[in-house]
Amino acid sequence: MSAATEILKEIASGKHIGNEKQVAIDYLLKPAKRFVPPTLSEVWDYCKKRENNIDAEAFINHYKTNGWVQGKGRKPIKSWKACIITWEKSSKPNINKQLKDTSWAENLDDVL
């Protein structure tokens, strides 16, 4: 018998349930949070606060077009703010990649 079944039987029988079980019940009965797409002003304000150069309108349009899903698995977005941070990282120049793309001789000149 599962723990959830035991708890439900205790509740049905009118027995006192412990605090740990009450916490578990509260967690199980808690309504699931639904993702609510951000407004353009919310994205703009968040980007301004983070001082990044992300185009809020392009961000909204990108995810709206894709149905607010991400990745190859097309999983629903849970946090649009986390997506902003990912956009920040992908928009910054990657120094290591730039060094690999240029020849070793050019890099040697920069070091010397």
Instruction: Print burial letters for 25-59: b (CB count within 10 Å at least 16), e (below 16).
Output: beeeeeeeeeeeebeeeebbebbeeeebebebeeb
Walk along the chain (112 residues) and give the pLDDT tens digit of each residue: 666 677 667 666 766 666 777 777 777 777 777 889 999 999 999 999 999 999 999 999 999 999 999 988 999 999 999 999 999 988 776 555 555 666 555 655 555 5
